[in-house]
């Protein structure tokens, strides 16, 4: 009897030890094993790319464009913006007529001479205007504006120097030079006429006015004396043989009396005479 009880107890213990792990049912999770699950490939969810950008792919990274060995493909080249059509370049017409230069010959004397291959002074320039003393208007008529190339070049140089020293000065007002071909320029050509002005080396320049008007002064009180003195000095420096001024202008002291001389009928203009080229 005792033997039967012992056998029964040993069997009960064996049954309890094997029943400690309940059988897996349909509503229980499958046990986790330490070996890999070969029934399905293992997938791991990638974390989202920052800022909502698509995640990195396994495609190879593009070649750096700065690499000199790299030749960009069509998708890497940027289309250049269309070039705007530019208007054709048109050179502006000169504001004043150009001087037609030629080498002149001043023949004879200032009172009995002529002008060969004279040069026409334009009716106006950047730094001068011309005045017709007979018609009393600007510009002076063309047949009264002829001089030697020496005279025209000297006039333009004096005008440049005059305005370089005084950029605010009005343009110079130029009167008579010579006729085409020179020769007589007396009273039959209007007004008192000129005894000289016959070989292209004489020119009249009206005194600058205090009010800046581009016309001859009506009296010596209208003369801008500082500018008039500068003008006389510039002509002397340019090589003028004589500068004739009016007796009431008080300009004879600007230069040597042998060169700056006072004569009548010159209270409204300077009369400049150049020496003949080469003498």
Mind listing the pLDDT tens digit for each residue in 219-238?
999 999 999 999 999 999 99
Q: What is the mean pLDDT of residues 106-127?
A: 97
* Predicted confidence (pLDDT) at residue 8 exceeds the cutoff of 50: no
Residue 126 has a pLDDT of 94
Cα gap 132→177, rounded to integer Å: 11
Cα gap 87→186, rounded to integer Å: 55
Total-model pTM: 0.67
Residue 62 has a pLDDT of 46
Torsion angle, alpha carbons of 233, 234, 235, 241, to 10: 60
Mind listing the pLDDT tens digit for each residue in 244-261?
999 999 999 999 999 999
Q: What is the mean pLDDT of residues 2-12?
A: 39
* Backbone angles phi and psi of 223, in degrees to 5: -75, 130
Q: Which domains does the chain have, with CATH numbers?
A: 105-273 (3.30.1380.10)
Give the Å distances, CA to CA, from 69 to 64, 66, 77, 179.
10, 9, 15, 79
169, two tokens: 């000065």
């Amino acid at each position: 009897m005792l033997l039967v009880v012992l056998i029964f107890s040993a069997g009960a213990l064996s049954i309890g030890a094997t029943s400690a792990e309940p059988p897996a049912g349909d509503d229980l999770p499958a046990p986790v094993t330490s070996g890999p699950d070969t029934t399905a490939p293992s997938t791991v969810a990638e974390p989202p790319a920052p800022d909502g950008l698509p995640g990195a792919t396994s495609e190879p990274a593009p070649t750096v464009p700065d690499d000199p060995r790299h030749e960009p493909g069509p998708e890497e080249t940027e289309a250049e913006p269309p070039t705007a059509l530019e208007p054709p370049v048109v050179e502006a017409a000169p504001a004043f007529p150009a001087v037609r230069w030629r080498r002149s010959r001043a023949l004879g004397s200032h009172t009995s001479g002529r002008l060969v291959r004279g040069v026409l002074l334009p009716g106006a320039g950047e730094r001068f205007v011309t005045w017709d003393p007979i018609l009393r208007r600007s510009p002076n008529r063309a047949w009264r504006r002829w001089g030697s190339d020496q005279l025209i070049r000297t006039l333009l140089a004096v005008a440049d120097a005059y305005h370089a020293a005084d950029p605010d000065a009005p343009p110079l007002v130029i009167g008579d030079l010579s006729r085409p071909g020179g020769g007589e320029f007396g009273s039959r050509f209007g007004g008192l006429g000129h005894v000289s002005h016959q070989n292209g080396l004489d020119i009249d320049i009206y005194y600058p006015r205090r009010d800046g008007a581009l016309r001859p002064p009506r009296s010596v009180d209208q003369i801008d004396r500082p500018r008039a003195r500068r003008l006389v000095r510039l002509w002397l420096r340019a090589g003028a043989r004589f500068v004739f001024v009016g007796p009431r202008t008080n300009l004879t002291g600007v230069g040597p009396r042998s060169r700056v001389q006072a004569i009548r009928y010159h209270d409204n203009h300077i009369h400049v005479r150049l020496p003949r080229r080469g003498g």
